[in-house]
Structure 1
């Protein structure tokens, strides 16, 4: 009434198509947010180190830890080379 005849107003909307489109729009927004989050983590390099191959519990590879000890002077050159050879043989 008041200018709202059959086919106008609330009841002449999209029907089930409107419900389906609403659900799909929500899923699209969620997918975009998830994609942006993963892209940001990938580009910033903040992915956890324990997923990379050869990483130890502290997030460093054994070769890197050995090189750090050699650089700090905790082990000498001969010991460094010997241990590095053993590490590479037993991969």
Structure 2
């Protein structure tokens, strides 16, 4: 039986093995980062942070004014809806 290079690896064998180890290391690091980010996201972002000075929900009149400013409703429709909102707020 004939042994090539006395049973050792050639230069291409070392190259292939080094490339494989590098690929495995990169995949392990990427997998670890993805797992860490997934776990971090699920624990730190369960509820949005609230501060005592944060404004409450937007009043309906302000939403109506924003729709009017964007051109979604015309002047006549804006005035009619605004009057209906004010009537329902103060019966």
Normalising by the residue count of structure 2, what TM-score does the alignment of the two structures yield? 0.39
* Structure showing greater Rg: 2
Normalising by the residue count of structure 1, what TM-score does the alignment of the two structures yield? 0.39
Structure (1 or 2) with the greater helix fraction? 2
